[in-house]
Amino acid sequence: MDIFVIQGGKPLEGTVRTAGAKNSVLPILAAALLTEETLSLENVPDLSDVRTMLRILEMLGAEVEHTGPNRLDIRSRPSAQPVAPWELVRKMRASFEVFGPLLGRRGRAEVSYPGGCSIGVRPVDAHIRGFEALGAKIRTQEGYVVAEAPPEGLPGGEAYLATSSGSSVGATRNVMMAAVLARGRSVLTCAACEPEVVDLADCLNAMGAKVHGAGSPTIEIQGVEALHGAKHSVIPDRIEAGTYVVAGAITGGRVRVEGCRPEHLTALLDALYRSGVGIERGRDWIETQPRDIHKERLRPTDITTQPYPGFPTDLQAQWMVLMTLADGVSVITERIFPDRYMHLAELLRLGARIRRQETAAVVEGVASLSGASIMASDLRASAALVLAGLVSKGQTQVHRVYHIDRGYERIEERLENMGGSIRRESVAVEGQSAPG
């Protein structure tokens, strides 16, 4: 088990390059199941979630060849059974997005219900409704969702993908991938507009699909006979980029995040502007301006998480950390995953003043935070706890950093390169350092 040992108090100074988007590459890898030809991908991030998805795809008959740093070729042979087992699906919810490609290409899919996680129940009812709208017969048995297409293939249809929280990113992508090889035309309404939906559609169209309207709430798909191989470069990870921008803002340093898409971070940039953080930006970079965090405290700034282009739920924890040191009271409202507050209790251990009010967290800014041992929980909250350690007085130990490795490429190296005092240590068991 690894921990991070962080010495707080130093402003970050330097440049960090954004990696490829985790939440884009995972469904794009699944899209390789839609053809027997080679899908060549660039800008693939080096993450444990990517390795998990590749293991699942290899179980489903795919062959993977790593062709260079952050590059791979993947080719799917429909030899194996179209079954994704609970042992792997339970590790990563995104693996449920092999369902659409299996159903679309092989006419059958059997995938374990993904479990819940620390941010919520994570149902898949919108996915299932979407597959049924395309003409699939769905049943559940022994914890698996099983779908059969008619012998002549999915007819296609109109799928309404709204959930109680609005659009669903995963359902939009999963149903899109089932529809691209349908016999007829499909329309997805109340579709998610996230950049990671658009990136998948761009990759599918490069493979010969006919997807129109991705990025808007209505996506039209004309089914085609077959898809072919393609080359695709994964978009930059807007959540990773946003995390490092907040790292610069919270430590009062000059951090330049390069290779990103500022237009994917409008909601964060607006909130930073409202809070008084100095920001400069260009076509593919964002830079925080230096600030004395004790003399120039930030203005308290409320945010509410919403589907894109609203404030991303994946940056909610990072924003909460920033607001723990603001000069006043901020209200953070989580509308996507109402229970996504595991980081709150850990921040209280650092001296933050926050209280839950149903789906909101009321953050009363304090002058400083003090280091302590804290526990990572979900991927994004864990990164936020690292940011909190960077600005807390004294030493902070963040435990269970495997959560962070799922979605951030070597975060400790990137922060160390910018002057952050952070090192990874192996502990034999919780709370003790490994011998030797």
Q: What is the set of active-site residues?
A: 117
Q: Are strands 369-370 and 392-393 parallel, antiparallel or unpaired?
A: parallel
Q: Does 125 contact ligand EPZ by CB under 6 A?
A: yes
Q: Does 120 contact ligand EPZ by CB under 6 A?
A: yes
**Least CB distance from residue 49 to ligand EPZ, whole Å?**
8
**Least CB distance from residue 378 to ligand EPZ, whole Å?**
7
Strand spans (E) along 105-170: 108-112, 137-141, 144-148, 158-160
Of the candidates 6, 25, 26, 31, which one interacts with ligand EPZ according to CB under 6 A?
Answer: 26
Of the candidates 6, 8, 23, 399, which one interacts with ligand EPZ according to CB under 6 A?
Answer: 23
Of 69-77, 122-130, 148-156, 244-252: span binding ligand EPZ (CB under 6 A): 122-130
**Least CB distance from residue 114 to ligand EPZ, whole Å?**
8
Q: How far apart are CA 224 and CA 246, in angstroms?
A: 44
Residues 32, 45, 340: CA angle, nearest 5 degrees:
95
Q: Does 407 contact ligand EPZ by CB under 6 A?
A: yes
What sign for the dihedral angle of Cα 271, 164, 145, 109?
negative
Q: Which helix (H) or strand (E) holds 95?
A: none
Q: Does 408 contact ligand EPZ by CB under 6 A?
A: no
- Based on CB atoms, which residue is closest to ligand EPZ, 200 or 293? 200
- Based on CB atoms, which residue is closest to ligand EPZ, 106 or 122? 122
Q: How far apart are CA 218 and CA 206, in angstroms?
A: 20
User: Smallest Cα–Cα separation from 107: which of 138, 145, 148?
Assistant: 148
Tokens standing for residue 213: 């309207």
Per DSSP, helices labelled H in 99-194 are 99-106, 125-133, 169-179
The structure tokens 């930073």 sit at 272
Give the per-residue contact string, 215-254, with ligand EPZ (x = CB under 6 A; - = no).
----------------------------------------
Q: Does 94 contact ligand EPZ by CB under 6 A?
A: yes
| Binding residues for ligand EPZ restricted to 152-191, rule: CB under 6 A | 163-165, 168-171
**Least CB distance from residue 166 to ligand EPZ, whole Å?**
7
Q: How far apart are CA 262 and CA 243, in angstroms?
A: 13
Q: How many CB atoms lie within 10 A of CB 339?
A: 12
Q: How far apart are CA 238 and CA 255, in angstroms?
A: 15
**Least CB distance from residue 150 to ligand EPZ, whole Å?**
23
- Based on CB atoms, which residue is closest to ligand EPZ, 38 or 165? 165
Residue 359 contacts residue 293 (beta carbons within 8 Å): no
By Cβ distance, which residue is nearest to ligand EPZ? 170
Which residues would be at the binding site for ligand EPZ (CB under 6 A)? 22-23, 26, 93-94, 120, 122-127, 163-165, 168-171, 192, 196, 313-314, 336-337, 379-380, 407
